Amino acid sequence: MYRSHTSLPITRVDTGRERLGHLPARFIDKGWRESCAPYLAEFCGTFLITLAYLCNASAGDPVWAVTSNALMTMVVLYSFGHVSGGNMNPCISLALWLAKRHTFWTCLCLCVVQIAGGSVAALTFYRFAVAKVDLGPKPGFSGWEALVVECIFTTMIVFVYLNCAASRGNNPVNTPNGFIGLAVGLCHIAGGYASADVSGTVMNPAVAIGLQIVDMKGELRTSWGLEYLPMEIAGAFLAVSAYRLVRPTELQASSLLDPDDTHWRPPSSSRVMAEFIGTFFVVFTKALNNIGKSKAEAWSVAAAVASMQYALRGVSGGHFNPAVSISAAISSRRLCTAWNAILYVGAQIIAGLTASTMYGVVHQRGEIVIRPDAKFEHKMSAVVFGEIVFTALTCYTVMAVSVKHLSMSKWRRYDMDGLAVGMCTAVGGFAVGDISGAVLNPAMALGFTGLNVIGGDLFQSTVGIYIFYELVGGFLASGLFWLTHADFFRVKPLTVQAPSIASSPIVASPKQFPLGGPHG
3-state secondary structure 435-471: CCCCCCCHHHHHHHHHHHHHHCCCCHHHHHHHHHHHH
Q: Are residues 278 and 317 in the same domain?
A: yes
Which runs of consecutive H residues, i.e. helices, occur in 265-379?
268-289, 297-316, 322-331, 338-362
Q: Is residue 16 part of a domain?
A: no
Q: Is residue 261 part of a domain?
A: no
Q: Would you say 305 and 282 are in contact if contact means Cβ atoms under 8 Å apart?
A: yes
Q: Is residue 220 part of a domain?
A: yes
Report the mean per-residue pLDDT for the chain.
81
Q: Are residues 209 and 279 in the same domain?
A: no
Q: Would you say 119 and 209 are in contact if contact means Cβ atoms under 8 Å apart?
A: yes
Q: Is residue 504 part of a domain?
A: no
Query: Of 220, 248, 276, which residue sits at a domain end?
Result: 248
- Residue 233 exposed, middle or buried by CB count within 10 Å (0-12, 13-18, 19+): middle
* For residues 474-491, average pLDDT: 88
Three-class DSSP category at 315: helix
Query: Of 202, 217, 248, which residue sits at a domain end?
Result: 248
Q: Would you say 206 and 118 are in contact if contact means Cβ atoms under 8 Å apart?
A: yes
* For residues 417-443, average pLDDT: 91
State the CB neighbour count (10 A cutoff) for residue 244: 16
Out of 18-32, 161-175, 379-393, 503-517, give the one with best mean pLDDT: 379-393
The string of pLDDT tens digits covering residues 83-132 is 988 999 999 999 999 998 889 999 999 999 999 999 999 888 877 766 66
Q: Are residues 299 and 393 in the same domain?
A: yes
Residue 9 confidence (pLDDT): 37
Q: Are residues 146 and 291 in the same domain?
A: no
Q: Is residue 3 part of a domain?
A: no
- Domain at 72, CATH number: 1.20.1080.10
Residue 4 confidence (pLDDT): 33
Q: Is residue 25 part of a domain?
A: no
Query: Of 214, 248, 282, which residue sits at a domain end?
Result: 248
The string of pLDDT tens digits covering residues 264-291 is 678 899 999 999 999 999 999 999 998 8
Residue 7 confidence (pLDDT): 35
Residue 456 confidence (pLDDT): 56
**Pairwise CA distance, residues 390 & 302, whole Å:** 13
The string of pLDDT tens digits covering residues 292-328 is 777 889 999 999 999 999 999 989 999 999 999 999 9
What secondary structure letter does DSSP report for 103?
Answer: -
Q: 169 falls in which pLDDT band (50, 70, 90)?
A: confident
Q: Are residues 187 and 92 in the same domain?
A: yes
Q: Are residues 211 and 305 in the same domain?
A: no
Q: Is residue 2 part of a domain?
A: no
The lowest-confidence range among 145-149, 170-174, 219-223, 262-266 is 219-223
Out of 3-7, 16-20, 256-260, 493-497, give the one with best mean pLDDT: 493-497
Residue 192 confidence (pLDDT): 92
Is the pLDDT confidence value at 463 over 80?
Answer: no
Q: Are residues 243 and 304 in the same domain?
A: no
Q: 378 falls in which pLDDT band (50, 70, 90)?
A: low
Give how many domains the chain has, as a whole number.
2
Is the pLDDT confidence value at 479 over 90?
Answer: yes
Q: Are residues 238 and 311 in the same domain?
A: no
Q: Are residues 241 and 276 in the same domain?
A: no
- In sequence order, what are the beta bridge partners of 495? 512
Q: Are residues 235 and 365 in the same domain?
A: no
Q: Is residue 177 part of a domain?
A: yes
Q: 5 falls in which pLDDT band (50, 70, 90)?
A: very low
Residue 502 confidence (pLDDT): 42
Share of the chain above pLDDT 90, in %: 48
Residues spanned by the domain of 316: 268-403+414-487
Q: Are residues 385 and 319 in the same domain?
A: yes
Q: Are residues 240 and 272 in the same domain?
A: no
